[in-house]
A and B are shown apart, each in its own frame.
Chain A
């Protein structure tokens, strides 16, 4: 029996309309020890990111002479999905997502300003309910900005899909497992450039335009939220330190 992802009244399983994203929540500076850190929540998907660096490259052979080395590690907590199980750190999916996040962030960080250094990004999923990849990228973005690392733009990411003949924005776990396509986009909003475009399953070409447009709009909305969070947080810090001195 095929699940009805959108009711004829236009409501999804959790009560959202097709073009609505889930509730967003973000916090900066949650890990004191790290240079930069952030948590990011999209609905029930909760992710924490920590950034260490820039510091000396540990493995000399990997050192890049003209730019910084960006390393990323993605992992999921045992308790993040419905069934508790020991997650292999080096399993295929984690490695793939680590690579994907690294590539997206590398495009945004101005690595040539910090040659021969290394920047480590650690992302850890605390609760997974669909869209973990996007939440990780958003969290990493905030953590990098929190660490003061120079970036071209903040990276905002969102996933969209196509079920019951309707493009849907920000799929949760149920909708993700519905068998339809899953398009993840990471966008540099002010520069209007894509740093990541990934898709699972199949989608007719005519539909792709619509789904992509929707994902784009989602990213822009998320970027606005992230920008507000960043500015709020930094303002608080600056006022706490007194009058800003150059």
Chain B
């Protein structure tokens, strides 16, 4: 095993100079020095292309990670709660592939449902209470909830039950069909590849 070569770090340990390295996950910069901020193994790798500084990337990984928190740009999975004329409230259950311990509140506004014809959107025809949707976090939102958007092909309803009670099958980006009654219902459907 690579045990001997691994460098285990605890929070507060000095890793290197900010001028020589780029600070990555699990580290922070203070007074031109890079310190560890979590418990883990120090890993040095090539800097990502988009980084500002040129030095190699230094990260501390491998320890226990803190609970998932929605951040702008991440894809979250949630359950639709209330649907009104302008908004749909969403209970965020997963962030990326990680389940959250406690649910976060999100909201999908009318203008964020899809990319085209945003003023002609009928919320009731996009989401129904109980639907499981995949959305992307737009921003931290207001005091009450995160702002979510489903305005991409791969975002939207991934699972829904029909009025008859069966799990529906997606038909098009706007319709889903109940297998038992063969009735079609309107939803903003996610394109699952």
Contacts and interface: CB of A to CB of B under 8 A. Distances in A.
Asked whether any CB of A lies within 8 Å of a CB of B in the complex, the reply is yes
Interface of A: 35-36, 52-56, 60, 63, 65, 108, 110, 114-117, 145-154, 188-191, 227, 230-231, 234-235, 237-239, 243-244, 246
Given A60-B144, A116-B140, A154 B12 contact: yes
B143 A244 contact: no
8 contacts: A55-B67, A55-B104, A115-B140, A148-B64, A151-B12, A152-B35, A152-B37, A239-B1
B105 interface: yes
B61 interface: yes
B41 interface: yes
B17 to A, nearest CB: 15
Interface string B38-68: 1111010000000000000001011111110
Nearest to A233: B39
Given A55-B102, A56-B103, A63-B143, A153 B64 contact: no
B39 A110 contact: no
Interface stretch (B3-11, B73-81, B127-135, B173-181): B3-11
Nearest to A114: B69
A183 B153 CA distance: 62
Nearest to A58: B102
Contacts of A149: 38, 66
B28 A234 contact: no
Given A53-B67, A145-B11, A231-B8, A153 B140 contact: no
B10 A230 contact: yes
B100 A145 contact: no
B14 interface: yes
A148 B28 contact: no
B11 A147 contact: no
A178 B63 CA distance: 44
A231 B66 contact: no
Contacts of A239: 1, 3
Given A56-B105, A145-B38, A237-B64, A151 B11 contact: yes
A235 B40 CA distance: 8
B1 A152 contact: no
A206 B157 CA distance: 71
Contacts of A153: 11-12, 35
Contacts of A238: 41, 62-63
B47 to A, nearest CB: 15
A63 B144 CA distance: 10
B156 interface: no
B101 interface: yes
B35 A60 contact: no
Sorted nearest first, the 3 A-B pairs with minimum C-beta distance are A153-B12, A150-B37, A190-B12
Nearest to B145: A56
B122 to A, nearest CB: 30
A52 B100 CA distance: 12
B28 to A, nearest CB: 6
Nearest to B43: A246
Given A60-B144, A153-B11, A246-B61, 9 more contacts: A115-B140, A150-B11, A150-B66, A153-B12, A227-B10, A238-B63, A244-B61, A244-B62, A246-B43
Nearest to B60: A150
Nearest to A35: B67
Contacts of A55: 67, 100-102, 104
Nearest to A238: B62
A146 B101 CA distance: 16
Given A63-B143, A244-B6, A150 B63 contact: no
Contacts of B41: 238, 244
A72 to B, nearest CB: 17
Contact of A35 (B2, B30, B66): B66
Contact of B14 (A52, A117, A190, A246): A190
